[in-house]
Amino acid sequence: MSSTTSDSPTPGEPEPTAAEQRQCCENWQAVRERVATACHQAGRGPDTVRIVGVTKYVGLAATRALIEAGCRDLGESRPQALWEKAAAFATVDRSLQWHLIGHLQRNKVPRTVACGALIQTLDSERLAIALNQAAVAAGVSCEVLLEVNVSADPGRSGVVPAAAGDLLEMVAGLPGLLPRGVMGMASHPDAGIDPRQDFAHLRTLRDTLAKHCPAAGELPELSMGMSGDFEAAILEGSTMVRIGSALFESLR
């Protein structure tokens, strides 16, 4: 536990061991290479996909290891964990972008907006109103993705595809919100559906939304793909993959 990384951490913030740091760098490089290979197969440049490192499984030390490895986009599913980690690393690196990828309760909106987080899970008008209020009060504009339940799985969150257009129209009229695109997940593996089919569906939906709601802007972001299926998502046009387990293998 006495090993240290090259620069000194913020006081009180746990540090990864040298072995953990090495493992995390290896995992980061391996994921980057897989992303680059999938981009190549899709005829896209390697920088057209952002890797959002999902830190929900790990504490501050492993999160720090991932930042040291080079990851700048970080995702958390619980708002409190996002606040805590964003605060811990705000002075270490100001270029970090946090992403909320889990459910956001309205009473947790102001603090999450204050962290400058991109909200990937906007799925209701009530949440849009709360986010807009907080953003306007803070004098910021809050980037959001509409979370769409493409597989129409009743156990999943997200707006159903048929209701996404109305939600987007509403969001486009709120001065504090900046819609950037959509987020979604492939069907549960038990459903026996090829993930590419769900990803293609999400891309088509995004294209349709952009066409029918010009006020929302271009909607450039398609957040789709996780550790088990990100290559398929990249082949279908993903611009943001949300990777947890593949980055923290042998590190938990």
Ligand X SMILES: *Cc1c(COP(=O)(O)O)cnc(C)c1O
Contacts 24+ apart (CB under 8 A), 42-50: 42/234, 42/235, 42/237, 44/234, 48/239, 49/234, 49/238, 49/239, 49/240, 49/241, 50/239, 50/240, 50/241
Between the two ends of the chain, the Cα-to-Cα distance in Å is 15
Q: Which is nearer to ligand X, 125 or 249 (CB)?
A: 249
Q: Which is nearer to ligand X, 176 or 237 (CB)?
A: 237
Q: Which is nearer to ligand X, 60 or 174 (CB)?
A: 60
Residue 65 has φ and ψ, to the nearest 5°, of -60, -40
Residue 112 binds to ligand X (criterion: CB under 6 A) = no
DSSP 150: T
In the region spanning residues 55 to 94, those forming contacts with ligand X, defined by CB under 6 A, are: 56, 77
Q: At closest approach, how far in Å is the CB of 19 from ligand X?
A: 22
Q: Per-residue x/- mask for ligand X, residues 208 to 237, rule CB under 6 A?
A: ------------------xxx---------
Q: At closest approach, how far in Å is the CB of 246 from ligand X?
A: 6
From the list 3-11, 167-175, 206-214, 238-246, the region that binds ligand X by CB under 6 A is 238-246
Spatial CB neighbours of 192, under 8 Å, sequence gap ≥ 6: none
Q: Which is nearer to ligand X, 195 or 244 (CB)?
A: 244
What gap in Å lies between CA 150 and CA 199, rounded to an integer? 8
**Which residues here bind ligand X, judged by CB under 6 A?**
54, 56, 77, 101-102, 226-228, 242-246
